[in-house]
Structure 1
């Protein structure tokens, strides 16, 4: 997909709300859980966090992703979504989130997805994320697969 513009937006904006609702419906179909219990807009209204929206060359919102702090060195990706048919949107959003994490001083990015969400698992593995023991709220949750990627510092 050419000419994507990825920028920070408020997670309560109409486009952000629509994209996250689409994501919730997709997750509900795939996993039986809409994912809403593990993210709220205030999660990215704190320092060292962001919510990004990708727009196509016509200005249509076609994807989103959030970055929130886990600790001083690690950030977590949440609500990552690329609308169907948006070839390359997910990769572009992931790269933008990694750049934001680097700029915010993080050394590692972590995330969780459901094992049954094989498309997401494959996507993150293709982009250099490696499986790690479940962390935080995902400990002991056999349905979760947690991943991490060390960031290459660009100082």
Structure 2
């Protein structure tokens, strides 16, 4: 695990937010709030290929669903996609969530991000009702899984 505010973690988040900005046509996505990903209730992971940071993801408490870890900031640098790195990050986050006492995991992704929905469904996640702050969103879908 690494701290969410390390240069590598920040660079991966900035790359993710830039890619989302290109996809959705606007900028201004917020970077993760570092305290939410810190122990004892959160974690943030960065995967490396040699010395290069290539993927990341984090978990933090999901206040709207007690006992549930929210998976956030999942991202893999494009040249490293489809090599199983995202699966390893997600599985490691789920193991960490269990160790932290969570019983379930949930996440939000964009409705137009069919590849992301398919990725999470392939890992056992299924659609759940929208949760705050996404209740009124027409661009969000939420997925969850018992751990």
TM-score normalised according to structure 2 size: 0.90
Shift of 1:29: 1.6
Q: Which residue of 1 aligns with 2:67?
A: 73
8 Å CA contact 2:37–2:44 kept in 1: the answer is yes
Q: Which residue of 1 aligns with 2:41?
A: 48
CA distance in 2, matches of 1:35, 1:95: 29
- Relative to structure 1, the CA distance from residue 88 to residue 116 in structure 2 (aligned partners, 3 Å threshold; closer, same or farther) is same
TM-score normalised according to structure 1 size: 0.85
- Relative to structure 1, the CA distance from residue 148 to residue 80 in structure 2 (aligned partners, 3 Å threshold; closer, same or farther) is same
8 Å CA contact 1:31–1:114 kept in 2: the answer is no
Q: How many residue pairs are counted as aligned between the two chains?
A: 143
Correspondence list, 1:1-155, <5 A: 8-32=1-25, 36-37=29-30, 39-45=32-38, 47-56=40-49, 58-71=50-63, 72-86=66-80, 87-151=83-147
- Relative to structure 1, the CA distance from residue 74 to residue 38 in structure 2 (aligned partners, 3 Å threshold; closer, same or farther) is farther
Shift of 1:125: 1.0
CA distance in 1, matches of 2:40, 2:27: 26
CA distance in 2, matches of 1:120, 1:55: 21
CA distance in 2, matches of 1:36, 1:77: 17
Query: Deviation digits for residues 60-104 of structure 1, max 9, x if unmatched?
Result: 111000100114410101111011122111111011111101111
